[in-house]
Structure 1
Amino acid sequence: MKKDINVRLIRHATIVIEIGDVKFLVDPLLAAKDTYDPVANSGTQIRYPRIELPIGQDELTALIKDVDAVLVTHTHRDHWDDLAQQMIDKEKPLFCQPADLEKIQSQGFTNLKAVADELSFKSIKINRTGGQHGTGEIGKKMGVVSGFVLNNGAASVYVAGDTIWCGEVKDALQMYHPDVTVVNAGAPQYTTGDPITMTSADIVKVYKELPSTDIIAVHMDTISHAKVSRKQLREQLTECGYLEKVSIPEDGEVVRR
């Protein structure tokens, strides 16, 4: 069984995870720059995605064909957009949370499985974890979100998804002890309420909870209501002495473990 883990950031939360011999495309946001209207109630009129994909159309098409499966943590448009629904083969294996099963089925996908707790795919065991997409009323409005742990018996990756630091994340770290943890940073906010994904302080809490996991921070520089850029996150982690504990890849970059 291969221990190798490669995580390639495409853009935002869109990543390709290669664990052993199996490849997953996670949370595809594939639209061109400025395709979508500004995020409502965010205090900005900036359209998104704010940047183009780092790869051309031919490479994107080949990438989608090459992956073994697609994993959608939740169906907010910045994680599962219109172009992804058009480009991905409707018979491609696709995994989601139970709350999104009916919606994705209605989009024509026929090889779809909801992960209620645990299931297996090829050599990979997939476990679903919980999360909190913000606090208070904003958190309730954001709906149900999930994380997922991919484990081939030799190596494991925890995709935390759109969540702040919370008890569910702590429990997942302690239960699965992942070799790699992918966190969604950027600390996006609306005009009211607290951040709805992780801040630098949240990421430090992830490290302190499980120092053995390699943290990869993504989900920045793409959506208009995100308050923290890669540059700012690096500065914040430098100030508190944790920059060397976190990988912050650029779009297109591969992190190898």
Structure 2
Amino acid sequence: MKRRNFLKSAAVSTLAAPAILRNTTTAAAGFEAEERELEITWLGGATLMLSCGDLTLLTDPCFGEGEQAFKMGDPNEMFDLGKGPNIKFHRRLTPFPGLQLNNVDHVILSHLHEDHFDQEAQRVIEKGMSLLAPEHELGVLSSKGFTNLTGLKWGQEHVLTKGKVKVTIRTVRADHSEDPQISKILGEGNGYWFTFEQGDWKKSLYWTGDTFPTDAVLQSLGSLGSPDIFIPHLGGVGLTGPLGQISMGAGHVVQFAKALNPGKILPLHHSTYELYLEPIYHLAESLQGESHRLDLVSEGTTLRYI
């Protein structure tokens, strides 16, 4: 069984419905944006809009809706590890809030499982869009017709600029399982540490990707300090399947938070899909009494970090 193909569907399906590109709502509607701030809009799953000045980044785009939101193997079902999982459609439980794709400058991919880059997003995103992804995934992306590709290895830094904004992106190791053998089956993914800068203003953000706080991951973060914003993937995916848990639960996020001491915690990769097994209230309960601020929002909400 090919490693990265373990959960993947064989091909991109052609969906009849076009992408729904509605305007997102904001938590502070009616107020003029400050010049130096980071706006983060959660669009469900692992999909974020990160906007700073004139620069806008989109993470792990997934646009599908309804009963057939995306097609992928089901890690929550029992299956023969030698044969692989049942490839099936997965249900989205919440509407996709929408976005304006022409405002996006770069797409950042943590990995290519279809719950992170679904068939609808692959269909509607222009093939010349700038995509930043794990280096070993460039061949797959090229085979899908994408032409503007940047590959990033663990520990590598990449700088993006637009107008007065500079973003330094450091690629961080992501372990998809606490079991090294299962991580090998699922394939390598990336987490990312972003440093947004405008003049003397600076804001740091750590987006974990699908990972656990393994010793190797924590070691790779050791020199980076405490992020202003910590964005973990939760959901407890795989708890009922033969792979075991392959996305974090509340306890893992608490472990990360104790190690990193972030200013804010903005959880995602929960609630949007039937695929996610652990309710998000587990994290709220687990963080009671902690000093970290939990920014728990619904899909389509924009938060402004000044």
TM-score (norm 2): 0.74
Task: Give 1:242 shift.
Answer: 3.6
- d(CA) in 2 for partners of 1:160, 1:37: 23
Distance 1:106 1:47, change over 3 A: closer
Percent of paired sites with the same residue:
24
Find the counterpart in structure 1 of residue 91 from structure 2. Answer: 49
Mapping of 1:201-216 within 5 angstroms? 201-216=251-266
Structure 1 or 2: more helix by fraction: 1
C-alpha spacing 1:144/1:212, structure 2 compared with 1 (3 Å): closer
What is the alpha-carbon distance in structure 2 between the residues aligned to residue 248 and residue 39 of structure 1? 29
Q: 1:167 pairs with 207, 215, 234, which one? A: 215
Q: Does 1:139 align with 2:175?
A: no
Pairing 1:185–2:238 present:
no
For residues 298 and 231 of structure 2, the distance between their equivalents in structure 1, rounded to whole angstroms, comes to: 14
- Verify the 8 A CA contact 1:150 1:157 in the aligned structure 2: yes
Map residues 53-202 of structure 1 onto 2, 5 A cutoff: 53-55=95-97, 59-60=98-99, 62=100, 64-116=101-153, 117-122=156-161, 123-136=166-179, 137-153=181-197, 154-177=202-225, 178-189=227-238, 190-202=240-252
Residue 75 of structure 1 deviates from its aligned partner by 0.2
Q: Give the Cα separation in 1 of the matches to 2:126 and 2:119.
A: 13
CA shift, 1:41, in A, is 4.6
Structure 1 residue runs of 4 or more that deviate by more than 6 Å after TM superposition: none
What does residue range 15-34 of structure 1 map to in structure 2 within 5 Å?
15-34=48-67
Instruction: Say whether 1:255 aligns with 2:303.
Output: yes
**Which moved further from structure 2: 154-163 or 38-47?**
38-47
Give, in whole Å, the separation in 2 of the partners of 1:28 and 1:216: 18
| Cα distance change, pair 25–95 in 1 and its aligned pair in 2 (3 A) | same
Q: Report the CA distance between 1:47 and its aligned residue.
A: 4.8
How far is the alpha carbon of 1:102 from its aligned partner? 0.8
Task: State which of 272, 278, 294 in structure 2 corresponds to 1:246.
Answer: 294
| Equivalent residues of 1:134, 1:195 under 8 A apart | yes
Q: Which runs of 5+ in 2 are unaligned?
A: 1-34, 79-85
Q: Which secondary structure state, in structure 2, belongs to the residue aligned with residue 152 of structure 1?
A: strand
The Cα offsets for residues 213-242 of structure 1, whole Å up to 9 and x where unpaired, read as 32211001233342212233323434xx34
Contact 2:63-2:96 within 8 A present in 1 as well? no
Question: Aligned partners of 1:173, 1:6: CA distance in 2, in Å?
Answer: 24
Report the alpha carbon displacement of residue 169 of structure 1 after superposing the two structures with TM: 3.5
For residue 97 of structure 1, report the CA deviation from its aligned partner. Answer: 0.8
Contact 1:128 / 1:149 at 8 angstroms: preserved in 2? yes
Alignment: residue pair count: 249
Shift of 1:90: 1.3
Partner Cα distance (2:90, 2:136) in 1: 25
Change (3 A) 1:244 1:129: closer
- Structure 2: which amino acid aligns with 1:169? V
SS of the equivalent of 1:130 reads strand
